[in-house]
Homo-oligomer: A and B are copies of this chain.
């Protein structure tokens, strides 16, 4: 039974090689094998060598499950992101990895490919694989709760109702206000925005923009939607200028979109920032590579990732969780050439 038929050849009963097999092969007991493998010293050199040889011969590898079961260390956290190829999430992921590594934790990464359906699949599977979860979720909070019962969860950039969740807030209000103020100071009064599309409610960033615009007596209604990509940004800009040709400055949902808008402006022959000022959101490293360099309401992605990991760690170990006011990342205006 269980004869996996050895794929290609041989009467190989492809069973896992266990410590027992090694013990038998070396003519010792399991404990002795354990000693040899774990470098304990209460063992004779020759015995140890014999065991080691046998282990190598058999291609033995300890089961991580059995080992994890008995020595209850090793912490693994799950990191869920919508799209690793999106540089913003890349940066967050990278810093989360950094923080985790510093603590000796492992990180299983799940990319939900920007599809909410995938989130559920991920959640179901994640529950039995990690000790805690950090990440971005768009699904309903009840769904979230349902699949992650009892697991520490830190949500990034999203509010939560249930007490069992923890979340990292992104506060861009002041930053966006500063951006609009800057544009106004440069003489712009017709300021548009490229918001994201495909969501029921308007984005928080849109709210911040609206508030800032109103505070300056500016009409906040010049808005177009843009898919979350450079191409989307280009199309969005065309749509925006089509509907509101008077626009001389644009604030975008994020840097990717801004970069696309920058490229489109070039194609349209509008000089940046002279004829069109552009300010993005996120503060990606990418912004420094384009021409002109992108002004942006910048987020400290490093902090974002490390805060999330820190918090999930506290939840995990039962230490005092960070208070809400510490779980905030403020965005601030960083000017470069594009505005």
Which residue numbers of A lie inside 8 Å of B, CB to CB? Answer: 4, 6-8, 12, 14, 16, 56, 59-69, 72, 74, 76, 84-85, 87, 90-91, 93-94, 97-98, 101, 104, 106-111, 113, 125, 127-130, 149-151, 230, 259-260, 263, 266, 285-286, 288-291, 317-320
Which chain B residues border A125 with CB–CB below 8 Å? 104, 106
Q: How many chain copies does the complex carry?
A: 2
Would you call B65 and A65 a contact (CB within 8 A)? yes
Would you call B72 and A16 a contact (CB within 8 A)? yes
Would you call B291 and A266 a contact (CB within 8 A)? yes
Would you call B230 and A320 a contact (CB within 8 A)? no
Would you call B106 and A107 a contact (CB within 8 A)? no
Would you call A84 and B90 a contact (CB within 8 A)? yes
Would you call B230 and A288 a contact (CB within 8 A)? yes
Would you call B288 and A291 a contact (CB within 8 A)? no
Q: How far is the CA of A72 from the CA of B128 in the complex (A)?
A: 13
Would you call A68 and B67 a contact (CB within 8 A)? no
Would you call B69 and A94 a contact (CB within 8 A)? no
Rounded to whole Å, the gap between the CB of A270 and the closest CB of chain B is 14
Q: How far is the CA of A118 from the CA of B91 in the complex (A)?
A: 20
Would you call A98 and B69 a contact (CB within 8 A)? no
Residue in B91, B101, B110, B317 whose CB lies within 8 Å of A101: B110
Would you call A69 and B60 a contact (CB within 8 A)? no
Task: Given A230-B288, A290-B290, A318-B14, check contact A60 B150 (CB 8 Å).
Answer: yes
Would you call A6 and B64 a contact (CB within 8 A)? no
Would you call A109 and B109 a contact (CB within 8 A)? yes
Top 6 A-B pairs ranked by shortest CB distance?
A65-B68, A65-B69, A84-B94, A61-B150, A7-B318, A59-B150
A sample of 10 more A-B contacts (CB under 8 A), given A62-B128, A63-B69, is A8-B320, A12-B318, A59-B150, A65-B66, A85-B90, A98-B113, A101-B110, A101-B111, A109-B109, A289-B290
Which chain B residues border A127 with CB–CB below 8 Å? 61
Residue of B nearest to A83 (CB): B94
Interchain residue pairs with CB less than 8 A apart (10) = A16-B72, A56-B150, A61-B127, A61-B151, A62-B128, A76-B108, A90-B90, A106-B129, A260-B289, A289-B290
